[in-house]
Amino acid sequence: MSIEMAPTVKDLLFIMEQVWLSYMDPEGIDPLIPIDDEPVASEIHAWVAITGPWEGNVLVTCSRAQARNVAAAFLAMEVEEVPDEDVADVVGEMANIVGGNVKSMLPPGCALSTPYFVGEGEGPFRSPDAVCVAELVGRWRNELLSIAMWQGRNERVEVAA
């Protein structure tokens, strides 16, 4: 599948609106607000790999504070109650949920990996020829979150954060 046929930022926005209403903000009072041109703290990364006719990754990036906010909302807990391992699990699950929705827009035969998670001091993994084909950056609870699609072989090469 070519870059032109990959899901777009508009598609990612639709997916994230559904994720937010389903898991983060069922009452619809605290949505993820899309923004432009602000760098996202890249302390936390979670992603799923897509293989098959279209190859790439769906990557979630945010600050440690935002990851804790996401985990607390997802688990219906107070932020200070969330253990670190639950933060990793929830951010990975967000990548998995978004990746599953993206996969449904891709050609038949695509498969989704289990989620990968890396914390502070580590960078995400992607092939050196990967290209970011769509990225949605949003603000929620005064922190930023990025959902990006990277197209490229799923050969893992570590890159600096």
Domains and CATH numbers, the chain: 3-153 (3.40.1550.10)
Question: Greater confidence, 118 or 53?
Answer: 53
Q: What percent of the chain has pLDDT over 90?
A: 72
* Res. 37 pLDDT band, cuts 50 70 90: confident
- When pLDDT is averaged across residues 14-42 and rounded to a whole number, the result is 91
pLDDT of residue 5: 66
Contact 124, 60 (CB under 8 A): no
pLDDT of amino acid 161: 43
pTM higher than the cut 0.85: yes
Average pLDDT rounded to a whole number, residues 89-100: 96
Residues β-bridged to residue 58? 48, 149
Alpha helix (H) ranges present in the chain?
A: 9-19, 64-75, 84-103
Question: Is residue 159 predicted with pLDDT exceeding 50?
Answer: no
Q: Residue 93 — pLDDT band, cuts 50, 70, 90?
A: very high
Residues 6+ apart with CB under 8 A from 5: none
pLDDT at 42: 81
What is the rounded average pLDDT of the residues 30-54? 90
Please return the burial class of 74, using the count of CB atoms within 10 Å of its CB with bins 0-12, 13-18 and 19+. buried
Range with the poorest average pLDDT among 64-73, 76-85, 112-121, 134-143: 112-121
Q: At what angle do helices 84-103 and 64-75 cross, to 10 degrees?
A: 80
For the chain, what is the mean pLDDT?
87
Q: What is the structure's pLDDT at 160?
A: 43
